[in-house]
Amino acid sequence: MKFNFPIAVNMHEFLKTGRFDYIEIGQSDEQILQMFPDPDCTSQGLIVKQGLNIWLYGNIEFHFSDGILSQIRLEHLPFGSLDGGRSILLHPWLFGQPEKLNLNFVLNQLIRHHIDFFKIEDAANVILRLQSGVDLVFEKDGQQRLNTVCKRKVALPQWLLEAV
């Protein structure tokens, strides 16, 4: 859909609630096009009923599988600022300071703003899984910089769901 104005998205709200405007994981590409601006770029075209498709809004990626939104991703955060493209006006919150986006800074911000999470580690990454279902992925290197933000369907532990 063509809009005469950008859609405002608050990144604090996204991390706290998992809401990205009215977009939800599991919606179809057709539903999203009825209430959200057309993307800046697509990998396969707007409507793809089989296979994978990625819509780009600046450096925000909407990933579709068989026409259904499976995840919202922001990657390579240490290398640039957050950009919503021509259609999304982002209120960046902590992402407005990309040089500070390391594990300690983000942990302090989450605690200060009462955003619940639990930590997962693998060989290469530290992952903070927020109660909203958003994952914050930090590379396990000397600086532990935030590399990826990803919202997808995940099973959260029952104790975390009951925490609020």
* Whether the predicted model's global pTM rises above the 0.85 cut: yes
Query: 141 with 129: CB under 8 angstroms?
Result: no
Give the separation between CA 132 and CA 18, rounded to whole angstroms.
Answer: 5
Sign of CA dihedral 144, 148, 154, 158: positive
Tally of residues, the chain: 164
pLDDT value of residue 79: 64
pLDDT value of residue 63: 95
pLDDT value of residue 97: 86
Closest to 146 measured CA to CA, from 91, 99, 108:
99
Return all residues near 126 (Cβ < 8 A) that are at least 6 apart: 103, 119, 120, 137, 138, 140, 144
Interstrand relation of 88-91 and 7-10 (parallel, antiparallel or unpaired):
parallel
pLDDT along the chain (164 residues), means of 10: 85 95 94 93 75 92 94 80 90 90 96 96 95 94 89 66 54
pLDDT value of residue 30: 93
pLDDT value of residue 125: 95
